[in-house]
A and B are shown apart, each in its own frame.
Chain A
Amino acid sequence: MQLLFLLEQVVNGLVLGGYYLLIALGLSLIFSVGGVVNLAHGAFYALGAYVSLEIARRLGFGAGVALSPVVVALLGIAFERFILRRFYTADPILSLLVTFGLALVAEQAIRIAWGAAPLPASMPQAFKGAVVLGDFLFSKYRLFLLAVVATVLAGIWLLLNKTAFGRVVRAGIQRPDMVAALGIRLQPYMTTIVMLGVGMAALGGALFAPIVIVHPAMGAEILTVAFVVVVIGGLGSFWGVVLAALLVGVVRGITTHFVPAASEASMYLLMFLVLMFRPRGLLGERIEKFE
């Protein structure tokens, strides 16, 4: 019984990991193209939530979830064009600082636009409640969320690995010079990747709005976890991020079971340990720029 219950927590942790994945993967994507550690990623998540509520008020929940990422991704284009692009070749510490500043600006902008008070948000009635599969309890909404995450994950994987677009991006990460020497202009691809990463963050925000509090600092909350996941997985590694997200989810699930008060600290401890013993994360590769 006890064991079964522990298993249930592990499974729940995996679901939770899927939920971090959406944000962490976008962070990792942006990182892998330009080598920028984007501390403003949480801001796009928050924007995604706010914009989705704004749309949902007029067009309903579904439209909010579907359109908000598109709107925010457009902002992502400007973000790449005017800010990130300057930092692809700069000291990564500078991009860390500039995105830190942007996160601050974005949070304040949200506060001005929508007020400091949290906004109410809820899911359609049909999603409420839980289902019991085997002996395990799952919230319906989270299963839906998991399906969306899995779809996005598969989509991104296919895009990166099975399309010409993905080939250019992967080639561009390795040898931007050779890509250019084959007549390919890399810039639009980079912009698109940043747009995708930002859009995923916004999708995360839109999807999580019904289950977590929607307030201006929500971006900072999720960023920490996403960040920890990406670092544990290895900066820029697709499967590393997947692995780390699930790992963090499970570790949090298990600590919540045994030492609930330490569930947050466990994550940082995990990151600290991983960095001490596998300095580039679980599946990260050596990237000279970050040493």
Chain B
Amino acid sequence: MNRARTLVIGAGVLVALPFVLHAMGLAVNTATQIVTLAIAALGLNMLVGFTGLTSFGHSTWFGIGAYAAAISQKHWFPGQIALPLAFSVAFVALLSLTVGALVLRRRGVYFALLTLALSALTYTVAFRWTELTGGEDGLGGLSRGGIPAVPLDDSRVYYAFVALVAFGVLFALVRVLRSPFGHVLVAIRENQQRATFQGYAVDRYRLAVFVLSAVVTGLGGVLQGFLNYLVSAESVSVPFSGELLAMVVIGGMHHVLGPALGVLFYVSFRELFSIWTGNWLLWFGLVFVGFVLFSPAGLAGIWAKIRRRLRPPPPESAAMSRRKVYEGLPLPAFLRPAQQAGTVLELRSVQKHFGGIRAVAEASLTVRAGEIHALIGPNGAGKTTLFNLASGLYPPDAGAVALHGLEIHGLPAHRICREGLARSFQITNLFKGLTIYENLRLSVQAKHAARFNAWRDIDSYADIHAETQELARFLGLEGIEEIQGGELSYGGQRLLDLGIALGSKPGVLLLDEPLAGLAAAERERVSALVKSVGAALPVLIVEHDIDRVLGLSQTVTVMNQGEVLMSGTPEAVRADRRVQEVYTGTGTPPVTHRSAQAAGAPLLGFERVNTFYGKSHILCDASLDVREGEIVALLGRNGAGKSTLLKTLAGLVPASSGTIEFEGRGIAGLAAHEIARRGIGYVPQGRGLFAGMTVADNLALGRLARATDGRHGVAWSEQRIFEYFPRLKERMHVAADYLSGGEQQMAAVARALSGNVKLLLLDEPFEGLAPAIVQELFAVFDALRGQTSIVIVEHNLDLVLALADRVFALERGAVFHQGPAAPLLKDLDYRKKILWL
């Protein structure tokens, strides 16, 4: 935002407004009213537009501000305007500080509802407490005060006075928004969690802006009170709150002047449209609904769109071409922590349960100065949970986390960050609406003494600027700093996520899968970056690219099922049999493959399919085929795209390109329910049973919309279900969430098979099951191959290779190996060569 231009526009409008309105046949007082409302709307927008907290009850502050001034003038400062104004500001500040501390404990819809209740309550009190507020007659007989030479009673003089105050408010708000403090507000709006993990005491910022917003809105109320010489209960009512919010939305909440524009629009709409129709309020309502439906960014947003249309920004590729990448830069000096020695981060026997599930059990881990420490383990081993425990996303149930000997478990995340522990996130977690530069600067600024400064322009801090630039240069993001985080390629976003963590100048850095989803060249670059970071400060890294992570780390900890399996050098880990078993199995299947049939006719053709989640490219030209009567296994590391492939097949995730043919007919682009009706059954990871409903209810839903005649593929009747899964018989009327894991899996399979199914998709069907159950399910799947084809995703290689006829191995969304399952099952060396190590 250009500060000077905003102020010039603001001043220009303030000067021109009375003349323009006069030409429209409206009086000076209308102009004054517009300006007072605009002040209130600007105040509200600090909360709504810039911090992302929707207050549905801001009339509370408008009215209380006005009442405070009126009452103080009446009792203590008769005939004055400045003192009541000052009193009101102080009063609203104090009150909003108290109220804010309470209501800000809630977010989102609940915050909006609390503010709405607050406004309703305030209205009831104001309307009823006649002695204090004058009740329904309002508090009249105010005096505008002023000095004899400039009688504020003259409407033009009063306008000038209000306009001056408004300009002052605008000036102050612009300064605040340009300050370090203001930038943190926007960060909170964009991604509160990330701001917390950058080390910001988010609650304090939210409270501060709540008070600021209340005070400014209250100021608008005071000025309106003196304009009318009266304060009435309408000014605290809920409808007025809605009106203020409507003005903000219509004007555009992401622009400083947007709300003021909204007020102008609202008042002139009211004054002018009402000439043509008495039902102007109806039209206004329709316009408002239209804005919410079609242009939530308001008038300011429309203007921005038009401007982009007239002067289109350079295409993204052109912008990206300015990027300058420097290879092999050392970590900038300002990011190097003071000499550290010995143990930096220590987790001692930490535990975490979620409901009945044990995520981390008695896990201990030590990160020493000067090392890159890798944390590996299969899916569900508890690695990310361990990260979350260390970084304060949630506290451990038991155990301790110590950073430089200081116990940090139980501290809020921002404190932990300030103590010197920073982290990146597995799912990219950045400020998508902010530029790369702002993303990084927010981190750098978080440890600066001026992080609470709400007055100085952020650009005036040369040190912050220099450090941010150096960081961008180190990351290889120089030259494209002005691009928004959300516009970056997935690789760029991962890089930026890492940069945000690094920017908080940590003593130890936690990286959660920094390489996930990156293309080869990018992996190379990020690895190199991690290496140069690791040379200066200890890094704890979770990563599934095991070759690479073993290559760059000095110590490796392996986790499995919530426990630490071992810690040691990469060589020791490579050599450890238990670790190998965790990853590639033992080569001795617990059950044996019974029948292999001759390959049938082609059933499914899945060709060159691409799938995206937002910016992340999950499936890259993935191809696969399934024939009738065969079981196909999908193998690959975590995050390789296996589950996404199944979801794409089932129609739950749209494919952006490629063809999917099922029985010779294209099904790409069909809705999920149509695909299901054509005969594709899906059992998701975690089973996806409907909680609170009995097994019978779950099964009934499986039969509800699909044909059940079995003419097309298999369709299990209840009798068949009991044949295969006798134990479900007595569990039919038990709620699905009370079943054991094995029974749940059986119910999920039975549900999927309850309608005509020609292709069954199974996602991790054996996960977390006892061996006996595994055996039972295995037998069922094995027997099924005569009637229906199966695509199975399973990380237990021994099992899945025993079951499958053919395998497809995925890496980064593409198939890199396909072939029969048998050789992989028997030859463990071949398996390792193909799949890992």
| Chain A residues at the B interface, C-beta cutoff of 8 Å | 37, 83, 86, 92-94, 96-98, 100-102, 104-105, 108-109, 111-112, 164, 167-168, 170-171, 174-175, 177-186, 220, 224, 228, 231, 235, 261, 264-265, 268-269, 271-272, 275-276, 279-280, 289-291
Q: Which residues of the other chain, B, contact A93 by a CB distance below 8 angstroms?
A: 54, 108-109, 112
User: Which 9 residue pairs are nearest across A and B when measured between Cβ atoms?
Assistant: A180-B672, A183-B676, A108-B282, A105-B285, A104-B285, A101-B289, A290-B109, A183-B706, A183-B705
Total number of B residues with any Cβ neighbor in A under 8 Å: 63
Q: Which of B105, B112, B282, B693 contacts A171 (CB 8 A)?
A: B693
Q: Which residues of the other chain, B, contact A235 by a CB distance below 8 angstroms?
A: 109
Q: Is the CB of B293 within 8 A of A105?
A: no
Q: Is the CB of A168 within 8 A of B281?
A: no
Q: Is the CB of A269 within 8 A of B652?
A: no
Q: Chain A CB within 10 Å — which of B110, B238, B279 has the most?
A: B110
Q: Which residues of the other chain, B, contact A164 by a CB distance below 8 angstroms?
A: 700-701, 704
Q: List 30 A-B contacts (CB under 8 A).
A: A97-B246, A97-B288, A100-B242, A100-B245, A102-B289, A105-B285, A108-B285, A164-B700, A170-B693, A174-B692, A175-B688, A178-B682, A178-B690, A179-B701, A180-B651, A180-B652, A180-B673, A181-B672, A181-B676, A182-B701, A182-B704, A183-B755, A184-B673, A184-B704, A220-B239, A265-B125, A268-B117, A268-B124, A275-B113, A291-B108
Q: Which residues of the other chain, B, contact A94 by a CB distance below 8 angstroms?
A: 292, 296
| Chain B residues at the A interface, C-beta cutoff of 8 Å | 54, 56, 102, 105-110, 112-114, 117-118, 120-121, 124-125, 128, 238-239, 242, 245-246, 249, 279, 281-282, 284-286, 288-289, 292-293, 296, 650-652, 671-674, 676-677, 681-682, 684, 688, 690-693, 697, 700-702, 704-706, 751-752, 755
Q: Is the CB of A183 within 8 A of B296?
A: no
Q: Which residues of the other chain, A, contact B674 by a CB distance below 8 angstroms?
A: 183
Q: Tell me how far the C-beta of A163 lies from the nearest C-beta in chain B, rounded to whole angstroms.
A: 10
Q: Tell me how far the C-beta of A261 lies from the nearest C-beta in chain B, rounded to whole angstroms.
A: 7
Q: How far is the CA of A224 from the CA of B112 in the complex (A)?
A: 14
Q: Is the CB of A86 within 8 A of B293?
A: yes
Q: Tell me how far the C-beta of B34 lies from the nearest C-beta in chain A, rounded to whole angstroms.
A: 21
Q: Which residues of the other chain, B, contact A98 by a CB distance below 8 angstroms?
A: 289, 292-293
Q: How far is the CA of A291 from the CA of B113 in the complex (A)?
A: 12
Shortest Cβ distance from A93 into B: residue: B54
Q: Is the CB of A175 within 8 A of B671?
A: no
Shortest Cβ distance from B672 into A: residue: A180
Q: Tell me how far the C-beta of A246 lies from the nearest C-beta in chain B, rounded to whole angstroms.
A: 20
Q: Is the CB of B108 within 8 A of A290?
A: yes
Q: Is the CB of A181 within 8 A of B682?
A: yes
Q: Which residues of the other chain, A, contact B105 by a CB distance below 8 angstroms?
A: 276, 279
Main secondary structure of the interface of A (DSSP, over half): helix
Q: Is the CB of A102 within 8 A of B701?
A: no
Contacts A183-B706, A268-B124, A272-B117 known; A96 to B112 CB distance under 8 Å? yes
Q: How far is the CA of A86 from the CA of B290 in the complex (A)?
A: 13
Q: Chain B CB within 10 Å — which of A100, A235, A269, A275 has the most?
A: A100
Q: Is the CB of A182 within 8 A of B106?
A: no
Contacts A109-B282, A183-B706 known; A224 to B120 CB distance under 8 Å? yes
Shortest Cβ distance from B282 into A: residue: A108
Q: Is the CB of A261 within 8 A of B128?
A: yes
Contacts A175-B688, A182-B701 known; A279 to B676 CB distance under 8 Å? no
Count A-B contacts at CB 8 Å: 168
Q: How far is the CA of A168 from the CA of B54 in the complex (A)?
A: 33
Contacts A102-B289, A104-B285 known; A178 to B684 CB distance under 8 Å? yes
Q: Is the CB of B700 within 8 A of A167?
A: yes
Q: Which residues of the other chain, A, contact B706 by a CB distance below 8 angstroms?
A: 182-183
Q: Which residues of the other chain, B, contact A104 by a CB distance below 8 angstroms?
A: 281, 284-285, 288
Q: Is the CB of B289 within 8 A of A105?
A: yes
Q: Which of B124, B652, B700 contacts A181 (CB 8 A)?
A: B652
Shortest Cβ distance from B756 into A: residue: A183
Q: Is the CB of A167 within 8 A of B701?
A: yes
Contacts A170-B693, A224-B120, A261-B128 known; A96 to B700 CB distance under 8 Å? no
Q: Tell me how far the C-beta of B238 lies from the nearest C-beta in chain A, rounded to whole angstroms.
A: 8
Q: Is the CB of B117 within 8 A of A275?
A: yes
Q: Is the CB of A108 within 8 A of B693?
A: no
Q: How far is the CA of A93 from the CA of B286 in the complex (A)?
A: 18
Q: Which of B117, B676, B690 contacts A170 (CB 8 A)?
A: B690
Q: Which of B110, B114, B292, B684 contacts A291 (CB 8 A)?
A: B110
Shortest Cβ distance from B109 into A: residue: A290
Q: Is the CB of B113 within 8 A of A231?
A: yes
Q: Which residues of the other chain, B, contact A276 by a CB distance below 8 angstroms?
A: 102, 105
Q: Tell me how far the C-beta of A110 lies from the nearest C-beta in chain B, rounded to whole angstroms.
A: 10
Q: Which residues of the other chain, B, contact A224 by a CB distance below 8 angstroms?
A: 120, 238
Q: Is the CB of A178 within 8 A of B282?
A: no
Q: Tell me how far the C-beta of B319 lies from the nearest C-beta in chain A, rounded to whole angstroms.
A: 28
Q: Which residues of the other chain, B, contact A280 by a CB distance below 8 angstroms?
A: 110
Q: Which residues of the other chain, A, contact B128 by a CB distance below 8 angstroms?
A: 261, 265
Q: Is the CB of B289 within 8 A of A182?
A: no
Shortest Cβ distance from A90 into B: residue: B296
Q: Is the CB of A279 within 8 A of B281?
A: no
Q: Tell me how far the C-beta of B434 lies from the nearest C-beta in chain A, rounded to whole angstroms.
A: 18
Q: Is the CB of B281 within 8 A of A174?
A: no
Q: Which residues of the other chain, A, contact B682 by a CB distance below 8 angstroms?
A: 178, 181
Q: Which residues of the other chain, A, contact B54 by a CB distance below 8 angstroms?
A: 93, 96
Q: How far is the CA of A55 from the CA of B684 in the complex (A)?
A: 52
Q: Which residues of the other chain, B, contact A109 by a CB distance below 8 angstroms?
A: 282
Q: How far is the CA of A183 from the CA of B674 in the complex (A)?
A: 6
Q: Which residues of the other chain, A, contact B755 by a CB distance below 8 angstroms?
A: 182-183
Shortest Cβ distance from B681 into A: residue: A181
Known: A105-B282, A105-B286. 14 other contacts (CB 8 A): A96-B112, A97-B245, A98-B289, A101-B286, A101-B292, A105-B285, A105-B289, A177-B688, A180-B673, A181-B673, A183-B676, A186-B673, A228-B117, A268-B124
